[in-house]
Structures are given as C-alpha cells and as structure tokens.
Amino acid sequence: MIRFVGFSSLPLLFTSALAFANPAGAASDYPTVTVVDYVLGCMQTNGQTRQALESCSCSIDVIASILPFEDYERAETFKSMSLTTGERSGLFRESAPAKAAGTELKRAQAEADVRCF
C-alpha cells in the first residue's frame, strides 16, 4: 500500500533523515541552512529519491568532518564569485587563496563521493 505524505510532514521527514544520516553530529558546526541548501542542491543533481537524500546527507557530513565551516564558506564564496564576469572576477579564479580554497573543497567533495555514492 502506498501512503501519501502530506506537505506538512515533509519538514519532519527531512529533519529526521538528516538526523539519521548524521549520528555523530559531523555537520553540527555548519548552519542548518547551509546543510539543507547543500542537500537540496545535491538531490537536484542526483535525483529526488530516498537514496539521493541519504547519499547527499552523508556527503555534507563527510565534507564537514574534513573542512571547518569557515573554510567551506570561503571556498563556496570564491566558487560563486568566480562565476561573475568582468576584469575583477579573475581575482576569485586565479589568486592563490582562491585556488587553495577550491582545491581543499574539491578534495573534501572527492572524499565524500568515495564514501557516500
């Protein structure tokens, strides 16, 4: 029998899934909005399935266990700003801090892919 989960139950279901996927509290230093934003973006890329939810939740937990939030935020900022156009945007793509932050984030994401997907 298929049961319909009403929209009012979705936040509870999503929160429960995140808590289940994060028993050690690895992403506890990351703001909730950052964790949810990552998981939703990941699920959009990998499918809107229960398996994707679990893999994406695992992925942000692994990233959080490798990168402190400040480093994650820095890397995401460089990544976002590098997509802008204009002469000054090169600073966000080509500077040593931007490259280092990007490399660190890619390393954490690669580890997360190995462990979770």
Task: Please check the confidence at residue 73 and state whether its pLDDT lies above 70.
Answer: yes
Closest CA to 17 of 35, 30, 44, 3: 35
Greater pLDDT, 116 or 82: 116
Q: What is the DSSP string of 43-100?
A: HHHH-SSHHHHHHHHHHHHHHHHHS-HHHHHHHHHHHHHTTS-SGGGHHHHHSHHHHH
Grade residue 4 by pLDDT with cuts at 50, 70 and 90.
very low
* Distance in angstroms (rounded) separating the CA atoms of residues 18 and 58: 9
What's the chain's average pLDDT?
84
Q: What is the rounded average pLDDT of the residues 74-95?
A: 90
Best mean pLDDT range from 2-11, 82-91, 106-115: 106-115
Grade residue 27 by pLDDT with cuts at 50, 70 and 90.
low
pTM for the whole structure: 0.74
Exposed, middle or buried by CB within 10 Å (0-12, 13-18, 19+), for 100?
A: middle
The DSSP letter of residue 24 is T
Task: Please check the confidence at residue 20 and state whether its pLDDT lies above 60.
Answer: no
